[in-house]
Amino acid sequence: MTVEIICVGTEILMGNIVNTNAAFLAEGCANLGLNCYYQTVVGDNEKRLTETLELAMSRSELILVSGGLGPTEDDLTKETAAKVCGLELREDPESRRVIEEFFKKRGKEPTKNNWKQALIPEGAKAISNPNGTAPGVLIELKNRSRDRSKNAHSGGNMTTRIILMPGPPNELIPMFQSSVAPYLQELSGQTFFSKMVKIVGIGESRAETMIGDLIDAQDNPTIATYAKTGEVHIRVTASGATQKEAKKICKPVVKEIKSRFGTYVYATDEKKTLEQALVEMLLKEKMTVACAESCTGGLLSARIINVPGVSDAYKTGFITYSNKAKRKLLGVKKTTLAKYGAVSARTAEEMVRGLAAVTKADVTLSVTGIAGPDGGSEEKPVGLVYIGCLVRGQLRVKEYRFSGSRQKIRESAVTEALVLARECILELFSQDEFGQQDDDAQD
Amino acid sequence: MTVEIICVGTEILMGNIVNTNAAFLAEGCANLGLNCYYQTVVGDNEKRLTETLELAMSRSELILVSGGLGPTEDDLTKETAAKVCGLELREDPESRRVIEEFFKKRGKEPTKNNWKQALIPEGAKAISNPNGTAPGVLIELKNRSRDRSKNAHSGGNMTTRIILMPGPPNELIPMFQSSVAPYLQELSGQTFFSKMVKIVGIGESRAETMIGDLIDAQDNPTIATYAKTGEVHIRVTASGATQKEAKKICKPVVKEIKSRFGTYVYATDEKKTLEQALVEMLLKEKMTVACAESCTGGLLSARIINVPGVSDAYKTGFITYSNKAKRKLLGVKKTTLAKYGAVSARTAEEMVRGLAAVTKADVTLSVTGIAGPDGGSEEKPVGLVYIGCLVRGQLRVKEYRFSGSRQKIRESAVTEALVLARECILELFSQDEFGQQDDDAQD
pLDDT reading at A434 higher than 60: no
Q: Which CATH number fits the domain B191-270, given the four candidates 3.40.50.1220, 3.40.50.2300, 3.30.70.2860, 3.50.50.60?
A: 3.30.70.2860
Q: Which of B155, B67, B99, B35 is nearest to A13 (CA)?
A: B35
More confidently predicted of A429 and A171: A171
**pLDDT per residue as tens digits for the range B3-35:** 999 999 988 998 878 899 999 999 999 888 888
Cβ(B434)–Cβ(B426) under 8 Å?
yes
Model-level ipTM above the cut of 0.85: no
Domain ranges of chain A: 2-187, 191-271, 274-428
> Residue A150: closest CA among chain B residues belongs to which residue?
B51
**Which of B39, B225, B316 is the closest to A319 by Cβ?**
B316
pLDDT beneath 70: ranges in chain B: 143-157, 430-443
Give the full edge-to-edge strand order of the sheet including B222-228.
B222-228, B231-240, B191-200, B265-267
pLDDT reading at A335 higher than 90: yes
Contact flag B72-A208 (C-beta cutoff 8 Å): yes
Mean pLDDT, all residues of chain A: 90
B293 contacts in chain A (CB < 8 Å) = 298
Give domain A191-271's CATH architecture.
2-Layer Sandwich (3.30)
Contact flag A306-B293 (C-beta cutoff 8 Å): no
Interface mutation target, options B21, B72, B226, chain A, most CBs of A under 10 Å: B72
A25 contacts in chain B (CB < 8 Å) = 15
Interface mutation target, options A5, A316, A323, A359, chain B, most CBs of B under 10 Å: A316
Q: Is A115 on the interface with B (CB under 8 A)?
A: no
Contact flag B15-A37 (C-beta cutoff 8 Å): no
Residues 14-73 of B with CB under 8 A from A: 14-20, 22-30, 36-43, 45, 48, 51-52, 55, 70-73
B181 contacts in chain A (CB < 8 Å) = none
Residues 239-268 of B with CB under 8 A from A: none
Topology, domain A274-428: Maf protein (3.90.950)
Give the full edge-to-edge strand order of the sheet including A125-127.
A125-127, A136-145, A157-165, A62-66, A2-8, A35-42, B35-42, B2-8, B62-66, B157-165, B136-145, B125-127
Q: Is B232 on the interface with A (CB under 8 A)?
A: no
Contact flag A300-B298 (C-beta cutoff 8 Å): yes
More confidently predicted of A171 and B345: B345
In angstroms, the first-to-last Cα distance of chain A is: 26
Interface mutation target, options A5, A13, A294, A409, chain B, most CBs of B under 10 Å: A13
Q: How far is B294 from chain A, CA to nearest CA, in Å?
A: 9
Q: Is A203 on the interface with B (CB under 8 A)?
A: yes
A26 contacts in chain B (CB < 8 Å) = 12-15
**pLDDT per residue as tens digits for the range A194-219:** 899 999 988 888 998 999 999 999 89
Contact flag B297-A305 (C-beta cutoff 8 Å): yes
pLDDT reading at A443 higher than 70: no
**pLDDT per residue as tens digits for the range A310-324:** 999 999 999 999 999
> Residue B372: closest CA among chain A residues belongs to which residue?
A308
Cβ(A196)–Cβ(A233) under 8 Å?
yes
Contact flag A404-B11 (C-beta cutoff 8 Å): no
Q: How far is B432 from chain A, CA to nearest CA, in Å?
A: 31
Q: Is B111 on the interface with A (CB under 8 A)?
A: yes
Q: What is the pLDDT of residue B211?
A: 93
More confidently predicted of A174 and B224: A174
Whole-structure pTM value: 0.76
Q: Which of A274, A227, A312, A269 is nearest to A425 (CA)?
A: A274
The C-alpha atoms of residue A278 and residue A435 are separated, in whole angstroms, by 12
Helix, strand, coil % (nearest 5) of chain B?
45, 25, 30
**Which of B17, B74, B308 is the closest to A374 by Cβ?**
B308
Q: Cβ atoms within 10 A of the Cβ of A261, count?
A: 22
Say what percent of chain A tops pLDDT 70. 93
Contact flag B322-A316 (C-beta cutoff 8 Å): yes
Q: Is B322 on the interface with A (CB under 8 A)?
A: yes
The C-alpha atoms of residue A297 and residue B300 are separated, in whole angstroms, by 9
Interface mutation target, options A3, A11, A39, A332, chain B, most CBs of B under 10 Å: A39
The CA dihedral of B56, B60, B61, B65, to the nearest 10 degrees, is -40
Alpha-helical regions (H) of A123-273: 169-175, 181-187, 204-210, 212-216, 243-261
Q: Which of B67, B96, B31, B87 is nearest to B163 (CA)?
A: B67
Q: What is the pLDDT of residue A334?
A: 97
DSSP B234-245: EEEEEEESSHHH
Burial track B409-440 (b if 16+ CB lie within 10 A, e otherwise): bbbbbbbbbbbbbbbbbbeeeeeeebbebebe
Q: Is B208 on the interface with A (CB under 8 A)?
A: no
Topology, domain B2-187: Molybdenum Cofactor Biosythetic Enzyme; Chain A (3.40.980)
pLDDT reading at A237 higher than 90: no
Contact flag A30-B39 (C-beta cutoff 8 Å): no
The C-alpha atoms of residue B182 and residue B161 are separated, in whole angstroms, by 15
Longest dimension (CA), chain B: 81
The C-alpha atoms of residue A421 and residue A415 are separated, in whole angstroms, by 10
Helix, strand, coil % (nearest 5) of chain A?
45, 25, 30
